[in-house]
Amino acid sequence: MHMADALISPAVGGTMLAASAGIAAYSIKKVQKDMDDKKIPFMGVMGAFVFAAQMINFQIPGTGASGHIGGGLLLAVLLGPYAGFLTMFSILLIQALFFADGGLLALGCNIFNLGFYTCFLAYPLIYKRIVGEKVNQKRVFAASIIASAVGLQLGAFSVVVETLLSGKTELPFGTFVLLMQPIHLAIGVVEGIITAAVISFVWKARPEIMEKSAYGEPIGNISMKKILAVFVVAVVLVGGVLSWFASANPDGLEWSMEKTAGTAELEAKGRIYEVMSGLQDKIAFLPDYSFKTDGEDNQDGQTSEVVEAWPAVSPGTSVSGIVGGGLTLLLAMSVGVVIRMSKRKKKKATV
């Protein structure tokens, strides 16, 4: 559900970027309460894991569409809503800058759609209330599916509203929303199952982690070595190998656009779009999670498209998964380190 720049107007893009930046600033302030030396690497590793997991598109049977997890709910459950949102911010920034996944102008929209609803609405208002104080596997499973579905429904509806406010007449509201909501409901259910499986693993291994995040407390002296090691291995396997098996079908947003407008790519004209596109082209060294290629011309002088076999065994994909996971880990940890240092300075100033 990563929006391209062509889907929004500069006014909407700027407004949503300001909104997402404001939420990030608020999260930085609030997360200082529970930020400690163990949460920093946990943010990095979970960010890397969600980055890698988002590379795997799963098919939605009978539709010709695919989907991937958003990961916002998973991050909120394990890290808390504030650290979860900041980690999602890091993931989407890395994806837009270095992999051209989602537009730079649309970055604020993507952060809001994938991070705000899951971390600040679906998690506290749905997931926490269903799980309650008596945590068990059935409650975790039900809460994960319902909260994931609701979070993704809100995000999908937000995409439709953002295109409407941007004046994208190619995507009429009625038709677009009737396609976006059902397909993302199906994607949300699958994401909920995956989220429940990951949360259940952590809960069984270290239930204290979820308790600490739920109450906004530092991780403290809980041993994190096993959890971190498992997720690091998962990043390498998922990003480096399992990403080959991602569905080649269009994702829910692309599928809905194709059904509505007859194309998954809208044209965007204007200086701002040109500048943003040019900047992204220069920065993204692994666009579309693959090595840059100039393309081969056929006899008519046109660029020919190469239809890849499935599974798409590609060194570029593997490198993208591992490098992207590493960059996300470093950025999310850097955010945590800066917050931790700021917290220590404030403590010293009050002494």
pLDDT tens, position by position, 182-199: 999 999 999 999 999 999
The confidence score (pLDDT) of residue 303 equals 43
Residues 6+ away with beta carbon under 8 Å from 53: 68, 69, 71, 194, 238
Tell me if 266 sits within 8 A of 5, measured CB to CB: no
Q: Which of 59-68, 293-302, 307-316 has the lowest mean pLDDT?
A: 293-302
Catalogue all structural domains in the chain, each as residue range(s) with its CATH number: 5-290+310-350 (1.10.1760.20)
With 60 as the cut, is the pLDDT of residue 228 above it? yes
With 90 as the cut, is the pLDDT of residue 296 above it? no
Q: Residues 234-258: what's their mean pLDDT?
A: 96
Residue 5, helix vs strand vs coil? helix
pLDDT tens, position by position, 13-63: 999 999 999 999 999 999 998 899 999 999 999 999 999 999 999 999 999
With 60 as the cut, is the pLDDT of residue 175 above it? yes
The confidence score (pLDDT) of residue 301 equals 42
b/e map 240-251, b = 16+ CB within 10 Å: bebbbebbebbb
| Residue of 224, 286, 188 whose CA lies nearest to 45 | 224
Q: Please report, to the nearest 10 degrees, the dihedral formed by the alpha carbons of residues 58, 228, 196, 51 taken in order.
A: -30
The confidence score (pLDDT) of residue 293 equals 79
Confidence grade of residue 157 (pLDDT, cut at 50, 70, 90): very high
The confidence score (pLDDT) of residue 134 equals 83
